[in-house]
Amino acid sequence: MNENIKRWACHRALIAASFLASVFCAVLPAPSSAQGAAPAAAPDAQMQAGQQSYRVGDFVEALARWSAAASAYEAAGNPEGQVTALLRGAEAELSLGRGPDAVSRLQKALDVAQRIGNVSLLLGVESSLGSAYALTGRDADAARLCAAVAKD
Q: Is the pLDDT of residue 93 over 90?
A: yes
Q: How far apart are CA 150 and CA 152, in angstroms?
A: 6
Q: Is the backbone of residue 33 left (phi > 0), alpha (psi -120 to 50) or beta?
A: beta
Q: Is the pLDDT of residue 68 over 80?
A: yes
- pLDDT digit string, tens, across residues 8-24: 455 444 444 444 444 44
Mean pLDDT within 128-142: 93
CA-based max dimension of the chain: 58
Q: How far apart are CA 27 and CA 117, in angstroms?
A: 21
Give the chain's mean pLDDT.
Answer: 82
Tell me, yes or no, if the pTM score tops 0.85: no
For the ranges 3-7, 66-70, 99-103, the lowest mean pLDDT is seen at 3-7
Quickly state the pLDDT bin for 150 (edges 50, 70, 90): confident
Quickly state the pLDDT bin for 149 (edges 50, 70, 90): confident
Helix axes 99-116, 79-95, angle to 10 degrees: 160
Enumerate residues 6+ apart whose C-beta is below 8 A from 32: 40, 44, 78, 81
